[in-house]
């Protein structure tokens, strides 16, 4: 949905009104001590969904007010030096508005043009051996619970079991309104500190896993991949999977020859279904790689997506002995590890979103 500036601002006024309304409703339900938990959860979710765009809009409105005052002072009779200062201030504020308007247009586009667009989340074990694979499984469980709380749907794509009962890697698709907004800041290195079950001395070990969040591409973004660019191998599935999983050559491995990217899928008993899922993952990776290259060429200093430099930096630490979770980007520490591992991620995702909004505003003021 493409809107003019005036139409966009009119829609944002409505969202602002709805946000205020929701704040009042959530406060009222909270005071009723759990008489309507479902209603409270639904309104809290809607409030969280609106927070970033509404707060950005309110900042835009505040700057509009300040700019108008500065312009009024410039046009008034009085000290010439003060008028020149007012003119410069008005100019700077209007420049900030231009940046904020671009952000609002992007946020509106995310809300309206592709609210149902699926994405693929890949979690891989990093340093830490078998303990890292156990945490991959823990994060997968955490995210599936989080998606259920958000009203989103999870579709398993691929999983590679480890000897310890964890997962060396796992991929799953997430669909539903607001999926991208809820997962876009999960990309990066997640660090866990805890005592492994196999540790006889009770020593705390540090392990890492990487999370990649990849929007599934549309045909206009990524055309069909020529067959000559693909090497497709089929083989017999291995590992847990139930009766009959090892009796047919249903597992699929696809290599994209120009880039060397490789995807395997063996979760389904059908070779065709495994091929379809592997191709979805491969296309998502190719789009991500293409976008990374474009971003690096156009604005290398804006390194927000997986693979543009962030992957080497930890974004979050889960400390089990202290029941503590720290998000290093937002500078937030919560002593609510149990709740977070049960899918209560909203306090963290909201904090990161607010931090990113602040960074963008600083750049606008810059």
The encoded tokens of residue 331 equal: 């500078």
With residue 214 as reference, give the H or E element that holds it.
strand 205-215
Q: Give the per-residue pLDDT at 248.
A: 60
240: confidence class by pLDDT, cuts 50, 70, 90: very low
Q: Give the per-residue pLDDT at 335.
A: 95
Cβ-based neighbours of 74, under 8 Å, separated by 6 or more: 83, 84, 86, 87, 90
Q: Is 309 helix (H, G, I), strand (E, B) or coil?
A: coil
CATH number of 227-298: 3.30.160.20
Q: Give the per-residue pLDDT at 159.
A: 87
Average pLDDT on 312-321 reads: 87
Q: For 258-293, write each residue's pLDDT tens digit.
A: 888 888 888 887 888 888 888 888 888 888 887 776
pLDDT at 4 over 90: no
CA distances from residue 60 to 3, 312, 351, 361 in whole angstroms, order as listed:
17, 34, 20, 10
pLDDT at 312 over 60: no
* Strand ranges across the sheet with 167-175: 153-161, 167-175, 119-125, 205-215, 188-194, 314-319, 324-327, 332-334
Q: Give the per-residue pLDDT at 311.
A: 38
CATH class assigned to 119-221+304-365? alpha beta
Q: Give the per-residue pLDDT at 358.
A: 67
Average pLDDT on 168-182 reads: 87
The encoded tokens of residue 86 equal: 């007012």
CA–CA separation, 143 vs 350, rounded Å?
Answer: 16
Q: For 37-62, write each residue's pLDDT tens digit.
A: 778 877 887 888 888 889 999 999 99
CA–CA separation, 65 vs 129, rounded Å?
Answer: 56
Are the C-beta atoms of 176 and 165 separated by less than 8 Å? no
CA–CA separation, 239 vs 234, rounded Å?
Answer: 16
Q: Give the per-residue pLDDT at 304.
A: 45
> Is the model more confident about 138 or about 3?
138
Q: Give the per-residue pLDDT at 1.
A: 46
């Amino acid at each position: 949905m493409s809107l003019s500036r005036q139409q966009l601002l009119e829609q944002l006024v409505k969202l602002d009104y709805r946000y205020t309304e929701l704040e009042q409703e959530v406060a009222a339900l909270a005071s009723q001590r759990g008489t309507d938990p479902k209603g409270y959860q639904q309104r809290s979710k809607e409030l969280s969904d609106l927070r970033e765009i509404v707060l950005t809009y309110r900042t835009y409105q505040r700057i509009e007010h300040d700019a108008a005052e500065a312009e009024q002072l410039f046009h008034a009779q009085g000290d010439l030096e003060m008028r020149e200062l007012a003119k410069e201030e008005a100019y700077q504020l209007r420049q900030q508005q231009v940046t904020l308007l671009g952000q609002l247009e992007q946020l509106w586009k995310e809300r309206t043009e592709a609210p149902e667009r699926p994405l693929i989340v890949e979690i891989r074990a990093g340093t830490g051996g078998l303990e890292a694979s156990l945490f991959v499984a823990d994060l997968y469980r955490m995210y599936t619970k989080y998606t259920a709380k958000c009203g989103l749907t999870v579709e398993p794509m691929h999983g590679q079991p480890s000897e310890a009962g964890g997962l060396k890697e796992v991929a799953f698709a997430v669909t539903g309104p607001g999926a991208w907004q809820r997962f876009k800041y999960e990309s990066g290195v997640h660090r866990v500190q805890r005592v492994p079950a196999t540790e006889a001395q009770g020593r705390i070990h540090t392990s890492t896993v990487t999370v990649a969040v990849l929007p599934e591409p549309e045909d206009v973004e990524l055309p069909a991949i020529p067959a000559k660019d693909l090497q497709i191998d089929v083989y017999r599935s291995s590992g847990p999977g139930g009766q009959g999983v090892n009796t047919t050559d249903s597992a699929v491995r696809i290599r994209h020859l120009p880039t060397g990217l490789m995807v395997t899928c063996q979760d389904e008993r059908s070779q065709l279904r495994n091929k379809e899922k592997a191709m979805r993952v491969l296309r998502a990776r190719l789009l991500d790689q293409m976008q990374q290259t474009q971003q690096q060429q156009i604005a290398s200093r804006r390194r927000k997506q997986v693979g543009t430099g962030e992957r080497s930096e930890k974004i979050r630490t889960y400390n089990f002995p202290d029941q503590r979770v720290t998000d290093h980007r937002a500078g937030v520490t919560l002593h609510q590890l149990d709740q977070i591992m049960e899918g209560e991620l909203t306090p963290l995702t909201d904090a990161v979103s607010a931090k990113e909004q602040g960074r963008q505003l600083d750049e606008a003021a810059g």
